[in-house]
Amino acid sequence: MTNKFCVLALFMCLMVSSAAAQGSFTNCTAAFLNGRLVVNEYSPEGKCMIDSTAQGMLTVSPATYENNVWKASYPAEFMIAIRDKNTGTLCMFSDKKIKKVDISKVLAKCRKGDHIVLLTMDEHLALPHNEILIQ
């Protein structure tokens, strides 16, 4: 199972790096909550979900896989929007670039079924799992 994740992650990074000729999306990134990967599996089938009572710091970072654990390399700048469950409308959470945010502040503006949408600020950072479902 672990080898499958490694192969899929490598495949995703290779796919992303094929865009290097265009200069965009050359590094794989992921969302982390308290230093732990938010997506349940780093593959095309991966899903990002958090409980409506989650606590801690949300970051976006290039992801590395070492010793069977995904690790954040460094905090990257990002912005947050919230996708309304009922209408699909996107609303900006903040108009400022951030490197980390207390998830409880974001969740205070969300309802179950909404999505937190993460927007990267660096065209070299691919973020394939950029929507987090609130359960």
Instruction: Say how many residues make up the chain.
Output: 135
What are 104's two structure tokens? 């409880």
pLDDT at residue 22, as a whole number: 52
pLDDT tens string 66-97? 888 888 889 999 999 999 999 999 999 988 99
85 HSE (CA, 13 A, CB side): 10
Q: Minimal CA–CA distance to 135: which of 100, 102, 110, 108?
A: 110
Helix/strand/coil percentages in the chain, nearest 5: 20, 40, 45
Report the pLDDT averaged over residues 108-122: 96
Q: What would the mean pLDDT of 103-132 be, rounded to a whole number?
A: 95
What's the rounded mean pLDDT across residues 45-55? Answer: 94
Number of neighbouring beta carbons within 10 Å of residue 7: 11
Say which residue, 25 or 120, is predicted with more confidence: 120
Higher pLDDT, 61 or 16: 61
How many domains, in total, are found in the chain?
1
3-state DSSP assignment of residue 101:
strand
Report which DSSP code applies to 73: -
Domain interval for residue 87 = 2-134
pLDDT at 91: 96
Per-residue confidence band for 21, with pLDDT thresholds at 50, 70 and 90:
very low
* CA angle, 25 then 13 then 38, to 5°: 90
Predicted pLDDT of residue 2: 47
Query: Across-strand partners of 87?
Result: none
- Are 34 and 57 contacting, i.e. CB atoms less than 8 angstroms apart? yes
Those residues with Cβ within 8 angstroms of residue 112's Cβ, 6 or more apart along the chain or in another chain: 52, 85, 134, 135
pTM: 0.79
Higher pLDDT, residue 16 or 55: 55
